[in-house]
Amino acid sequence: GFVERMQLPNAKMAFMSTLLGLSNSKVTTEKLQLITIPTLIVWGENDPVIPIEYAQSFVSGINDCRFYKMTGCGHVPYVEKPKEFFQIVSDFLT
């Protein structure tokens, strides 16, 4: 998984380079209305990459969207709280 891949040579440098690139990117929501299937957005409340303040614009831009805020999580809630994340996704899919 993610943690194992981060142990590979130069993985941390590549990851940080990606994060730096993202920090200079503009978050856009203009094409979200093109999504026509039920959508689940799971967001870590302490996400340092894309702060949770952006969540509402994503959720309101998608017609059939369910939103779940994971408390005590950052940008990778599926790594930080995998059991809770699995339950959220499982409930959405059933």
* The model's pTM: 0.70
- Please tell me whether residue 45 adopts helix, strand or coil conformation: coil
Asked whether residue 10 is assigned to any structural domain, the reply reads no
For residue 82, pLDDT beyond 70? yes
How would you classify the pairing of strands 65-70 and 39-44?
Answer: parallel
Choose between 60 and 14: higher pLDDT: 60
Asked whether residue 47 is assigned to any structural domain, the reply reads yes
Residue 67 is encoded by which pair of tokens? 């939103």
Range of the domain at 78: 28-93
Distance CA 70, CA 94 (A): 20
pLDDT for 10 equals: 80
Asked whether residue 36 is assigned to any structural domain, the reply reads yes
pLDDT for 1 equals: 65
Dump pLDDT digits (tens) for 9-57.
887 778 777 767 666 666 677 889 999 999 999 999 999 888 899 899 9
Q: How many domains does the chain have?
A: 1
Asked whether residue 1 is assigned to any structural domain, the reply reads no
pLDDT for 25 equals: 62
Asked whether residue 58 is assigned to any structural domain, the reply reads yes
